[in-house]
Chains A and B, each alone.
Chain A
Amino acid sequence: MNVIEVDHVWKRYRRPHQRVNTVKEAVMAFIRGQTGYEEFWALRDISFSVTAGESIGVVGPNGSGKSTLLGLLARVLRPTQGAISVKGRICPLLGLGTGFHPDLSARENVFLNASLLGLSRREILARYDDIVDFAELEDLMEAPLKTFSSGMVVRLGFSIAVSLDPDLLLIDEVLSVGDEHFQHKSFQKLLDFRRDGRTIFVVSHDLDALKALCDRAIWLDRGNMVADTGCEEVVDAYRKAVAEAEQREREAARRQRELADRKPDAAQAEGAR
C-alpha cells in the first residue's frame, strides 16, 4: 500500500522584485510599474511513492527544496502543479514544540501542542503520563515553560511528537535534541518506530544518522531529483559529490591566488621595459 504518492509536483515561490512590505511601497511599486515577480522553482517535477513501513531520508545542500518537500507532505504548503496524497495519521515534526507559549505551564503546553498535532483531548489524557515519563520532567509539569532550559523544552516537544502513535513521521532536522542521554533515547525511539513498520520521512544533514535510520534516500539539488535509491548508495554518492565540489573550489581558489601572485611580476616587467 502506498502511504505517500507524489505525482509530478512543481513548487514555485514568487518573490516580488523588490520585497514589498508596506502598502506605501506597494503603491509606489505599482506607480513605477514594478509589479513583476521573481520566480523561483523550489521543486521541479518531483515524482515518487512510498509504501508503508519504508524509512526515507532526504539529502541535499541548503536551498535544494528539502524543507519545501516536507512542507508539502505536511499540507502546510500547496503544490503549484501536480498532486500529492498522504494517507494515515501524519506527525509533522517541522519543528519541536509548535505553539509552545512561555507563560503557560508545561502541562498546558502539552495539551496545546498535541491538539495542533491532531490529538483529541481524550487521546492526550490517555498519553499524558507516557509523555511526561519519556521527557523525564515529572516534577516540573506545573511550572511555566519559561522556567525550562532550552534542552528541556525540546525534550518535551519530542516526547509529545513520538507519543502520537503516527503512521507517518515527518522529521525536519530534529534528530539531535537534548543532552547525550536523551539524544540516544530519542534515536532509539525512532529505530523502534521503524521496527514497528511505521513510515519515516526524514530530512537531515546528519548523514551517519540517516544511514542508521533509513533504507532509502532521495537526493535533491536545486529542486531536481538527482537520485532515489538505497540509502547507503545515495549518501555515499552525495558525499563524493560534495567532496569533489570542494576539491574543485580549492583548485579554483589556488589558481586565482597564483594568478594574483604573478600579476605584480608582470607589472614590474612592464615598468622595467
Chain B
Amino acid sequence: MTEITELWRYREVMWNLVRRNLKVRYKNSVLGFFWSLLNPLMQIAVWWFVFKVILESTEPNYTATLITGFLPWLFFSQTVLDSTMSVTQEISLVKKAYFPRAILPLSTVLSNLIHLGFAFIVLLALFAIWRVDMNVYWLLVIPSTLLIAVFAYGLSAMLAAWSVFYADVKFIVGNLLGLWFFLTPVLYPLYLVLNKQMQAHNWLLSLVARMLPLIKKAYLADPVTIGILGYRSALLQGGANPIVVPALSGMEPAVRASLQASLRAQYPIATYVIAAAVIAIVVAIAGHAIFVRLSHLFAERG
C-alpha cells in the first residue's frame, strides 16, 4: 500500500519519462511518428505478399485479419523489448536519484500504450477506407489491450530486473519473442492449431503429439492470444466468439459449420478468457515482486 502512494507521489517523474520516451521516439517531427509506423506496415505488406500472392491463401478478409492481430502483438513485443532495457538504459538515473524503481518499466509500458493509441487512429483511417462499420463491440478492444498490458508489465518488470545482473537477458528475450510470434494466431487462422492432428515420425514429434491436448490449451490460454482474439472479435466479428473456421475455398459449408461448432464446444471461450486474465494478473504480481526485491541492488550492480 505504501508502495502505491509512493508511486503516486512520483507520478510527475513517470509522466515526464513517458513524454520523453515518445518525443525521442518521434524525434520532435510530425513525420517521425509515421516513420515509426512505416516499419510494421512494411512487414504487413511482406506477409500479405507471401500469404496472398505466393501461397494463394483463400482466407476471406485476410489483410484486415492480419492487421488486427499484428497491432496488439506489436504492442506486446515492443513493450517487453523496451522494458527489458528500461533499467539498464537508465542506470545513471538509478545511481543518482531516488524514486520508486518500478516507474522505469511502468513508463515504458505507458509510452507503448500511448503509441498503440496513435497507431489505432491510423487503423481507424484504414477501416474508414474499407467501409468497415463501427459498432459498440469495438469497445472490447479496451479490455483486450489491458489484458496484454498487465501481462507485459509482469514479464517486463521481471526481465528488466534480471538484465541488470545478466547482460544477455536481452538477447534471449529477442529470440523468445521471435518464437512466441509464431505461437500466436497473427499470421494463420486459429482453427489450424486447435484442429491439429499429429502423426509421430520421430521421438521429438511423438513427445509433442502426446502433449498436444495440453499444448492446445496453453496456446489458447496465453494472454497474448486471447488479446489478439479480442481485437478480432471486437473489430471484425461484432463481438462474436473468435473461434471461427474461415470460409476457405474447397471446404464444404456444412463441414465448416460442424467443425466450428465442435471447436467452440471443445474450447469454451469464456473459460479461456478467465484463465488468461488470471495468468496475466499472477505474472504481473510475481514480476513486480521480483523487481522490487532486487531493486535495491540496481544502483550498486548496474
Instruction: For chain A, give the interface size range.
Output: 20 to 34
Return chain B residues, CB-CB under 8 Å to A197. none
B12, A92: Cβ atoms closer than 8 Å = no
A residues bordering B, Cβ < 8 Å?
Answer: 13, 20-24, 26, 71, 74-78, 92, 94-95, 98-99, 101, 103-104, 108, 111-112, 115-117, 119-121, 144
Return chain A residues, CB-CB under 8 Å to B172. 23
* Cβ-closest chain B residue relative to A112: B16
Interface centre among B24, B97, B168, B299 (most CB of A within 10 A): B97
Return chain B residues, CB-CB under 8 Å to A71. 95, 299
Return chain A residues, CB-CB under 8 Å to B93. 98-99, 116
Digit string of B90-109 for contact with A (CB within 8 Å is 1, else 0)? 10111111110000000000
Give Cα A148 to B93, complex, Å: 21
B99, A116: Cβ atoms closer than 8 Å = yes
A111, B16: Cβ atoms closer than 8 Å = yes
Return chain A residues, CB-CB under 8 Å to B28. 103, 144
Return chain B residues, CB-CB under 8 Å to A22. 166-168
A101, B98: Cβ atoms closer than 8 Å = no
Q: How far is the CB of A163 from chain B (nearest CB, A)?
A: 16
A76, B12: Cβ atoms closer than 8 Å = no
**5 further interface pairs, Cβ-Cβ under 8 Å (given A21-B168, A94-B96, A98-B92):** A21-B166, A98-B96, A98-B97, A104-B24, A116-B93
Give Cα A121 to B300, complex, Å: 30
* Cβ-closest chain B residue relative to A96: B96
8 contacting pairs across A/B (C-beta < 8 A)? A22-B168, A76-B95, A94-B95, A98-B96, A99-B92, A101-B24, A115-B12, A116-B16
Number of interface residues of B (CB under 8 A): 29
Identify which of A23, A103, A111 contacts B169 (C-beta below 8 A): A23
A76, B97: Cβ atoms closer than 8 Å = yes
A104, B20: Cβ atoms closer than 8 Å = yes
Q: Is the interface of A mostly helix, strand, loop or mixed?
A: loop
* Cβ-closest chain A residue relative to B167: A21
B299, A76: Cβ atoms closer than 8 Å = yes
* Cβ-closest chain B residue relative to A100: B92
Give Cα A99 to B43, complex, Å: 34
A116, B166: Cβ atoms closer than 8 Å = no
Top 5 A-B residue pairs of the complex, sorted by shortest distance between their CB atoms: A75-B98, A115-B12, A94-B96, A22-B168, A98-B96
B12, A13: Cβ atoms closer than 8 Å = no
Give Cα A117 to B13, complex, Å: 9
Q: Is B17 interfacial (CB-CB < 8 Å)?
A: yes
Q: How far is the CB of A46 from chain B (nearest CB, A)?
A: 17
Q: Is B296 interfacial (CB-CB < 8 Å)?
A: yes
Digit string of B279-302 for contact with A (CB within 8 Å is 1, else 0)? 000000000000000001001100
Give Cα A99 to B168, complex, Å: 25
Interface centre among B24, B94, B98, B299 (most CB of A within 10 A): B98
Give Cα A23 to B96, complex, Å: 27
Return chain A residues, CB-CB under 8 Å to B97. 74, 76, 92, 94, 98-99, 116-117
Return chain A residues, CB-CB under 8 Å to B90. 99
* Cβ-closest chain A residue relative to B12: A115
Q: Is B210 interfacial (CB-CB < 8 Å)?
A: no
Q: Is B23 interfacial (CB-CB < 8 Å)?
A: yes
Q: Is B27 interfacial (CB-CB < 8 Å)?
A: yes
Q: How far is the CB of A40 from chain B (nearest CB, A)?
A: 11
Give Cα A120 to B16, complex, Å: 11
A101, B167: Cβ atoms closer than 8 Å = no
